[in-house]
Amino acid sequence: MPGNQINKTEKFLLDVQKPSRYTGGEVGEIIKDKSRIDVRFAFCFPDIYDVGMSHLGMKILYALTNQRENYWCERVFAPWTDMEEIMRREHILLYALESGDPVKEFDFVGFTLQYEMSYTNILNMLDLADIPIRQKDRGEQLAPLVIAGGPCACNPEPLADFFDLFILGEGEEVNLELMDLYKIMKDAGATRSEFLRQASQIEGIYVPSLYEVSYHADGTVKEIHALDNAPATVRKRVIRDLDACYYPDQIVIPFLEPIHDRISVEVLRGCIRGCRFCQAGFLYRPFREKSAQTICQQGTALCENTGYDELSLSSLSTSDHSQIEQILEQLLQYTEEAHVNLSLPSLRIDNFSESVLEKITRVRKSGLTFAPEAGTQRLRDVINKNVTEAEVLRTCQIAFNGGYTTVKLYFMMGLPTETDEDIIGIAELAQKIVNLFYDMPDRAKGKLQVSISTATFVPKPFTPFEFEPQATKEEILRKQKILKKAIQSKKIKPSLHVSDVSQMEAVLARGDRRICNVLYDAWKSGCRMDSWEEFFDASRWYAAFEKNNLSPEFYANRTRSYDEIMPWSHLDYLISRKFLIRENQKAHQGIATPPCRESCSGCGANSCLVRACF
């Protein structure tokens, strides 16, 4: 046996940045007696410790799995490049922080797929763990099983060659069902193939090796055929009652400051808005709320048990909770007395009120951030943002009256039907906010700052814009020049960024199984940490495409017809194809769809509930 790998790293810790990334031993970590464990699960985050320790899903599933006395979930993170160099030189295998045991000794090696540009890190971590990278090379030995879940699992095809199975949807129930099946079949001496065939019968489990994909001469998908009695369509899992769903009252306290150094309480899942560009807004449907009582109990317990001084109410749109005022009032009674800052990172412009502002500034005041996404009302209707210019200005006026002098606005470039007038509209909207500030009485001149940040639109699966082409890098650069020229005030600070990363993200988001070879060759050529600007090397990616006779433009910059079979067409995220087509057509007509709370648009997501969403 390779033994405890943490012991092997000790003499090298002073040679790396932030040694505590690699030691374990934090307050709140869960240590168990291996002799009493039946199933071991390595929860792998394909980025560094600082990023992964902020991830709410890891905290939930870590604590949930470890509630079972005979199951043990441990944490694994990608090493930074300095530690990777040492690990390869000294033959130190990738290990879990709790036990120090090599990942290859676990029953499950589970990755969370949060961002497409982390995919090369996954291959790199498997290699560091001495686990065969391709699924077909792992033989019939049952363990370790390499699995994945998370939002990017909605199109797992660019990773299909590397994983034994994927978990679609929400994992609180299905993860334990999968481990229960594993224990039974492990005790019975099952092979890998036997287990995968049985696992494919669990709702929410997708086994890519049980599906064959064929292609037309033009490169589009011709057919996706299920084998060995696997379901023709795999449906995602949904938690129906968030109040009854497990939520931890204790978390691991990191030694170093993570990206988001706070505790979070999830207040709702899903979104009522239907923004046509937003993948999360569709993937996490149907809309479900926790009760105010549950939210307050969970938030208070986490504060008391961890000592954190910041509590975040987490969701896609926290201010859409039907009891948001009641939640804030109850929590503030505790947080003010305990000197805990209450954070609402997902506020909506159209329901931002003086009452909400007063509540969130009673502990600490910071800048406000909003996302109009587009500069003109025409384009906001196209993307179904359901926010008017008047609402943007009203919200800023409330903020200014409350003493705010810093506002940050997020926009996208390259949206479907976008024109140069829409780009100029970004600058014009920012200028109207500046004018609003200085037209108000008793304003100290020179203090205001309006920051505008633009990102390149990336079309994603299971959205009405999955059919749309992505704008090229050259087109985005041209539009940035237009925006810079249109900005007239020094009070407006633009943050403009363009990179080949956006194209690769679009490729990996909408790619098919042929991308597996591109991904493998890109990794072999040295690609890793691609979400970090200093490491991304577009030339290596383009060389990998050329080697495999594939074009990134085919995946990123091509319009898809409504009758094209998508690489993910055999996966069911409860959003009907007819709905997506209908919404795409309405986008091109400039017709908005009202929020779900006002009128059901018939997306299909509430088919899994015993009642409608509202």
pLDDT of residue 571: 98
CA dist 252 and 586 (Å) reads 46
pLDDT of residue 401: 82
pLDDT of residue 381: 97
Residue 567's pLDDT band (boundaries 50, 70, 90)? very high
Decide if domain 5-235 falls under CATH 2.40.160.20.
no
Residue with the larger pLDDT of the pair 614 and 600? 600
Looking at the predicted structure, is the pLDDT value of residue 348 above 90? no
Ranking 71-75, 123-127, 167-171, 596-600 by mean pLDDT, the lowest is 596-600
Most confident of 326-330, 338-342, 353-357, 372-376: 372-376
- Tens digits of per-residue pLDDT, 181-206? 999 999 999 999 999 999 999 999 99
pLDDT of residue 395: 86
- Tens digits of per-residue pLDDT, 439-484? 887 765 558 899 999 999 999 999 999 999 999 999 999 999 999 9
pLDDT of residue 271: 93
Residue 10's pLDDT band (boundaries 50, 70, 90)? very high
pLDDT of residue 409: 92
- By the 8 A CB rule, do 413 and 454 touch? yes
pLDDT of residue 361: 59
Looking at the predicted structure, is the pLDDT value of residue 175 above 90? yes
CA dist 110 and 115 (Å) reads 15
Residue 123 has phi, psi (to 5 degrees) of -65, -40
Ranking 313-322, 353-362, 417-426 by mean pLDDT, the lowest is 353-362
Measure CA 181 to chain center: 28
Share of the chain above pLDDT 90, in %: 84
pLDDT of residue 613: 72
| CATH 3.20.20.70 domain span(s) along the chain | 263-498+573-588
Q: Give mean pLDDT, residues 606-613.
A: 72
pLDDT of residue 460: 98
- Tens digits of per-residue pLDDT, 506-535? 999 999 999 999 999 999 999 999 999 999
SS (H, E, C) 309-365: CEEEEECCCHHHCCCHHHHHHHHHHHHHHHCCEEECCCCCHHHCCHHHHHHHCCCCC
Q: What is the DSSP code (8-state) at residue 545? A: H
pLDDT of residue 366: 56
Looking at the predicted structure, is the pLDDT value of residue 353 above 80? no
Residue with the larger pLDDT of the pair 355 and 95? 95
Count of beta carbons in the 10 Å neighbourhood of residue 319: 21
pLDDT of residue 499: 84
In the CATH scheme, what is the code of domain 263-498+573-588?
3.20.20.70
- Half-sphere exposure of residue 436: CA atoms within 13 angstroms, side-chain side: 24
Looking at the predicted structure, is the pLDDT value of residue 420 above 90? yes
End-to-end CA distance of the chain: 56
pLDDT of residue 360: 59
C-alpha distances out from residue 39 to 6, 33, 76, 351, Å: 22, 12, 16, 47
DSSP letter string, 480-506? HHHHHHH---TTEEEEE---THHHHHH
Q: What is the DSSP code (8-state) at residue 289? A: E
pLDDT of residue 63: 97
pLDDT of residue 84: 98
Residue 65's pLDDT band (boundaries 50, 70, 90)? very high
Q: Of 584, 565, 234, 79, nearest to 382 (Cα)?
A: 584
pLDDT of residue 370: 84
Q: Give mean pLDDT, residues 124-136.
A: 98
pLDDT of residue 355: 67
- Tens digits of per-residue pLDDT, 22-52? 999 999 999 999 999 999 999 999 999 999 9
DSSP letter string, 44-103? EESS-HHHHTT-HHHHHHHHHHHTSTTEEEEEEEPPPHHHHHHHHHHTPPPB-TTT--BG
pLDDT of residue 398: 84
- Tens digits of per-residue pLDDT, 105-119? 999 999 999 999 999
pLDDT of residue 356: 65
pLDDT of residue 260: 87
Mean model confidence pLDDT for the chain: 93
CA dist 191 and 143 (Å) reads 9
| CATH 3.40.50.280 domain span(s) along the chain | 5-235
Q: Give mean pLDDT, residues 226-236.
A: 97
Specify the pTM: 0.95
pLDDT of residue 2: 72
pLDDT of residue 497: 83
- Half-sphere exposure of residue 35: CA atoms within 13 angstroms, side-chain side: 0
pLDDT of residue 350: 66
Looking at the predicted structure, is the pLDDT value of residue 421 above 70? yes
